Amino acid sequence: MKSVLLSSAAALFALASTANAQPTAEVLHYWTSGGEAKAVQALKKDFEAKGGKWIDAPVAGGGGDAQAAVLRARVLSGDPPAAVQIKGVNIRDWAEAGALADLSAVANKYHWDDILPKQLQDIVKYEGHYVAVPVNVHRVDWIWANPKVLAKVDAKVPTTWEEFNQVAEKLKAAGIIPLAHGGQPWQDGTVFETVVLGIGGPDFYKKAFVDLDPEALNSDTMVKVFDEMRKIRGYVDPDFPGRDWNLATAMVMRGEAAMQIMGDWAKGEFLAAGKVPGKDFICASTPSDKGYILNSDSFAMFKVKGDDLVQGQQLLASLILGEKFQETFNLLKGSVPARMGMDQSKFDSCAVKSMNDMKETAKNGSLVGSMAHEIVQSGAVRGAILDVVTEHFNSDMSSKEAAKKLAENVALAQ
């Protein structure tokens, strides 16, 4: 009898402990500056308002390489953070390693399948189960243009690559830099994937960058892509090597260059300088068959022990895809909500266009993940592609040779 009473007491104590556990989450991220830092603080504020205990674990360092090293060390030591900012195939890799928690209960409760584009679901699911929560969507395939500079040659933002070349030639003849560009592999890759989408179309893009089809990589279409990249090389100024992307954006702002091809994080530079969309700068999708290249940040939830940590993950996951946070975060970050069907009234015209285009392309299958920004391929494959793109861009390598080498490098990297 005594042992039964003790067992009952233990069970009651366990239930009480679960009920009284404070939702706790250690959040590992690399959003440490400007609007990014403000955006993270907005999530922290929401989390704490719901009774959660937030343990901030920022790791400075651009694209997250420093954070990735910290994460590996933490997981190997058996002490993973509850939530980690990662994206693309990195999510799948950690899931395959058995390190990520199943978020199906939260996903079902809040109907994530109904509010996320299928293409985004594929990124944050593993074997049919949610293991990460998307925070935002950055569109990659943008042209940012200075309307006053274009007006000097009586030109508008081009809608085809043929038009792009015609406008660029006019600008060049007038002594104006047609395209502001930074000579860094990821920037070369950003331009390259927009040309692949525009010349090949969404289906070809998927064959090349998702399926890694050797016939697509070494095709006549890919040769045409490299032909266009060779022309683009002639439209940038001689000082482009090593230039950071934001300095290229500043060239457009100052009127030194007419256009830049860059993701919508460039918009943050214009807005921070007090520039108004549609007046001081124009945003338009790069020439394509109504495609959309998606880059998205997510928080993956790692397997943790303890009711407080599990509850913290569930609370955090529910807040991230809530309408309030999706609006607050993306207004600060310059991106657009991962959640579809959001109120657009507080978003600028460029963001509204992005939201509408994402919805449309999600329906018709022309929404694709970014190669250059590590959404659809591993770092090794991405690196193999960027090596060829950058080598071609900075040499006299022929387009046929580049396409052949692209297929060879990708095959070796898999």
User: Quick check: is 45 in a domain?
Assistant: yes
Between strands 282-285 and 257-261, the pairing is: unpaired
pLDDT tens figures, 4-46: 333 333 333 343 444 578 999 999 998 887 777 888 898 999 9
Q: What is the domain-level CATH number for residue 384?
A: 3.40.190.10
Does residue 300 sit in the same domain as residue 274?
A: no
Higher-confidence residue of 14 and 235: namely 235
> Are 198 and 100 in a shared domain?
no
pLDDT digits (tens, 9 = 90+) for 64-105: 778 889 999 999 999 999 999 999 999 999 999 999 999 999
Q: Same domain, yes or no, for 256 and 390?
A: yes
Whether 222 is in a domain gets the answer: yes
What residues does 89 pair with on adjacent strands? none
CB atoms within 10 A of CB 129: 14
Sign of the four-CA dihedral 182, 183, 185, 191: positive
> Among 38, 22, 34, 79, which Cα is nearest to 312's?
22
358 located within any domain: no
- Domain of residue 155 covers 142-294+364-413
Which candidate, 11, 248, 282, places its Cα nearest to that of 158?
282
- Give the residue-averaged pLDDT of 196-207: 98
Question: Considering 332, 353, 374, which residue would you say is the last residue of a domain?
Answer: 353
pLDDT tens digit sequence for 248-299: 999 999 999 999 999 999 998 898 899 999 999 999 999 998 899 999 999 9
Instruction: Quote the distance between the C-alpha of residue 159 and its chain's center.
Output: 24
Residue 83 lies in a domain: yes
Q: At what angle do helices 220-233 and 161-173 cross, to 10 degrees?
A: 20
| Residue in the block written with tokens 């934001």 | 246
Q: Are residues 289 and 398 in the same domain?
A: yes
Among residues 194, 188, 181, 192, the alpha carbon closest in space to that of 141 is found at: 194
- Select from 333, 353, 373 the last residue of a domain: 353
Examine the pLDDT at 409 and tell me if it is beyond 80.
yes
| pTM for this entry | 0.88
Name which of 284, 263, 280 is nearest 271 in CA terms: 280
How many folded domains does the chain comprise? 2
Question: 7-21, 131-145, 212-226, 254-268: which has the minimum mean pLDDT?
Answer: 7-21
Determine the 3-state secondary structure of 190 from DSSP.
Answer: helix
Which residues does residue 138 pair with via DSSP β-bridges, in sequence order?
Answer: 295
Tell whether the model's pLDDT for residue 186 goes beyond 90.
yes
Assess contact for 270 and 249: CB atoms under 8 A. yes
Instruction: Answer yes or no: do 92 and 200 share one domain.
Output: no
Residue 61's pLDDT is 64
Question: Are 238 and 379 in a shared domain?
Answer: yes
Three-state helix/strand/coil letters over 248-276: HHHHHHHCCEEEEECCCHHHHHHHHCCCC
